[in-house]
Amino acid sequence: MPELPEVEVSRMGIKPHAVGKKITQLNVRQPKLRWVVPAKLYDIEGQIIRSVKRRAKYLILKTDVGYALIHLGMSGSLCIVSEGTMPAKHDHIDLHLSSGQMIRYNDPRRFGAWLWQPNNGSEHPVLDKLGPEPLTADFTGEYLFEKSCNKRTTIKQFIMNNAVVVGVGNIYANESLFMSNIHPKRPAGHLTREEAARFVANIKSVLLAAIEQGGTTLKNFTQVDGKLGYFTQKLQVYGKQGKPCSICGIKLESAKIGQRNTVFCSACQV
């Protein structure tokens, strides 16, 4: 599924086309997504998009009366198309803008979501109890060390828990654990302060690198097929089980941890 860098690049791609534009029409062709598209979402019609933000893997289109939350699920994508562009299969939602463009949502598996939160001072329940953003100053080695103390769960499952930190999905958890020489099955409570600091630095590094590489594809948002896949970055372990470790040369191993495939080097990661 799209991970934080893909969602952030989607935000960057949509923002210049959306901010300051009036929403002239919401066209929902298929309301049955992960949750049924709420009827109150139509309150967004006639409103000006004030900002396009991201929280975890939710995109937030803010207006004066409330905000729409968009989650891409496992197969969702957004692109910018011209008014009148015929929808393709799985193009479920169009947000028509005063500029003559549309934000189009495509989702073959329909595990994504479009939700609505009125501007009543409260936060939508899906955003409640989320941990800090990984690329902010709130996510530090000391924070991670304190959160991990006495935790028996594996460090891989711990770092992918959105209550601990948001947006560290499977690909980037694999990569940052390898870069930090931390075995993914190690109990989170065994992390030292020094390791926590190194781990946090590597998480930030790998996420920023993916966002930077994805930024080169932003022109795709103005094309009908403007879908973003995983960026062509140089992954060191993810998807490379059975291949030699780039550091020591032994074969990379794989295991299921929390129902997710995990690739690691049993020599370099302890």
User: Which residues are tagged catalytic?
Assistant: 2-3, 57, 260
* Sequential DSSP letters for 50-78: -EEEEETTEEEEE-SSEEEEEE-TTT-EE
Residue 82 backbone phi and psi in degrees, to 5: -80, 150
Q: Is 40 annotated as a binding residue?
A: no
**Contact by Cβ (8 Å): 74, 113:** no
At 6, which amino acid appears? Answer: E
Q: Is 109 annotated as a binding residue?
A: yes
Q: Is 152 annotated as a binding residue?
A: no
Between 193-214 and 141-148, two packed helices, what is the crossing angle to 10 degrees? 120
Q: 90: helix, coil or strand? A: coil
User: Which two tokens mark 142?
Assistant: 């000391």
* Sequential DSSP letters for 79-126: EEEETTPPP-TTEEEEEEETTSEEEEEE-SS---EEEEEESSS---GG
Question: Given 3-state DSSP classes, what are the helix, strand and coil percentages for the chain, each rounded to the nearest 5?
Answer: 30, 25, 45
Annotated binding-site positions: 90, 109, 151
Annotated binding-site positions for DNA: 90, 109, 151
